[in-house]
Amino acid sequence: MFDVQRIRQDFPILQQQVNGKPLVYLDSTASSQKPLSVIEAMNTYYREYNANVHRGIYQISEKASEAYETARKKVGRFINARSWREVIFTRNATESINLVAYSWGLNNIKAGDIILTSEMEHHANLVPWQQLAARTGATVKYIPVDEHGYLDMATFDAWLTPQVKLVSITQMSNVLGTVTPVGEIAQKAHAVGALVLLDGAQAVPHMPTDVQAFECDFLAFSGHKMLGPTGIGVLWGRKEILADMPPFMTGGDMIKKVTFEGSTWNELPWKFEAGTPAIAEAVGLGAAVDYLNELGMRNVRRHEIELTTYAFHRLSQVEGIRIYGPHDPTARGGAVAFTLGDIHPHDIAAVLDSEGICVRAGHHCAMPLHDKLGLQATARASFYVYNLPEEVDRLAEGLDKARELLGR
Ligand code: 7TS
């Protein structure tokens, strides 16, 4: 049913050799590869109906506007939004979170308020809240992560007071892989009157998403991690909340009427989309959503669990390896961060590169988490729809080689 060899045929980039060996791409957590259908959808836009949207009364501009808005509707259905008006196109998850921090945050957070996030956040879900706190006199508190990589829910419960105005939490850690209990978090946060933002940058590409079932208030994610292009991301928000928020950026497209005295704002979602948007990228993201729907997100998740299960089994045979995050593949995604004895993760990545294997090494934009783990860096392999068990074998063999070359 989930035929990875057939899926791989759709990804031209995977057909190449690096250093005389078939490319093994294990860095989809940073950015995924793109199927031909996405590349061709963008190509067709540029070749056949490239024009600005929401403006021209001529055919190709109308076609561009329709394609842009169709992509929005596809995204809305993909995450089970109540309305396409709740889907705002941004540049990426980072911009989506900043939109909430500046527009909602500056108008709703005041001195003495508390913003809860966690120790395992990407900097994108950390720095904006630190900045908001510095401007408003609020405090950011970080829900601890326990020694197995799970959120410490007892501390979360203890910290939930009426001073908490926002809980902004990752749905899936990009380092530990941990999947967080978002439904439970949202219910408990709402019980004290806080809003809930989910950083879905890692979860939305890898598992079914249902913003209504999650009961969250905002969801942020990026197109480029879900088979789509760079330069496009999404902020989903509940209509009532978005309607009350002022614009983040101002200028063309986001206005209803402008006079020398002042301006009024466009309706949702355009109120939050100032200037010419990323039209080709939206069209590409729409094609990526079509592709994922065809695979079925339940199947995508099942494949990831199978591959992660195999990775834990195979990698645990590598001498000196230590894998971080939950070891239960059903409680985590396919981002597998590890260290190998005292070999520097950058050296591991360099040896793997010589074998044609792409992994990431560093702090993965989660420096506080690495501090907590007492590490400067980890190496990280991550899996997606086009990865095979044989590639896990290649990784394990590459790590054996790194140990032979660099181990002491
Ligand atoms: N949130 C999480 C959980 C992420 O993993 C990332 C990117 C972001 C937010 C930011 O996404 P962006 O598209 O706005 O940059 N994560 C990674 C990574 O793990 N390696 O490179 C980017």
Checking if the pLDDT of 1 tops 80, the result is: no
Measured CA distances, 90 to 42, 374, 392 (Å): 17, 35, 34
- pLDDT tens digits along 159-215: 999 999 999 999 999 999 999 999 999 999 999 999 999 999 999 999 999 999 999
DSSP string, 195-259: EEEEE-TTTTTTS---HHHHT-SEEEEEGGGTTS-TT-EEEEE-HHHHHHSPPSS-SSSSEEEE-
Instruction: Specify the residue with its C-alpha closest to ligand 1, atom 20.
Output: 30
For residue 8, what are the β-bridge partners? Answer: none
Q: 115 near 126, Cβ under 8 Å?
A: no
In 281-382, which ranges are E strands?
321-323, 335-340, 357-358, 360-362, 378-382
- Ligand 1 mean position to 281 CA, how many Å? 18
Mean pLDDT value of segment 49-74 = 95
Q: What is the mean pLDDT of the chain?
A: 97
Q: 307 near 387, Cβ under 8 Å?
A: yes
Kindly report the backbone phi and psi dihedral angles of residue 110, in degrees, each rounded to the nearest multiple of 5, phi listed first.
-135, 175
Which domains are delineated in the chain? 4-27+296-406 (3.90.1150.10), 49-293 (3.40.640.10)
- The burial class, CB within 10 Å (0-12 / 13-18 / 19+), for 256 is exposed
- The burial class, CB within 10 Å (0-12 / 13-18 / 19+), for 97 is buried
- Ligand 1 mean position to 84 CA, how many Å? 24
216 in catalytic set: no
Residue 74's identity, in one-letter code, is K
Q: Residue 33: CB within 6 Å of ligand 1?
A: no
Measured CA to CA, the distance from residue 127 to residue 346 in angstroms comes to: 25
Q: What is the predicted pLDDT for the residue at 31? A: 98
Q: What is the predicted pLDDT for the residue at 408? A: 67
Number of the ligand 1 atom closest to the C-alpha atom of 171:
3
Catalytic annotation, pick one of 365, 367, 388, 406: 365
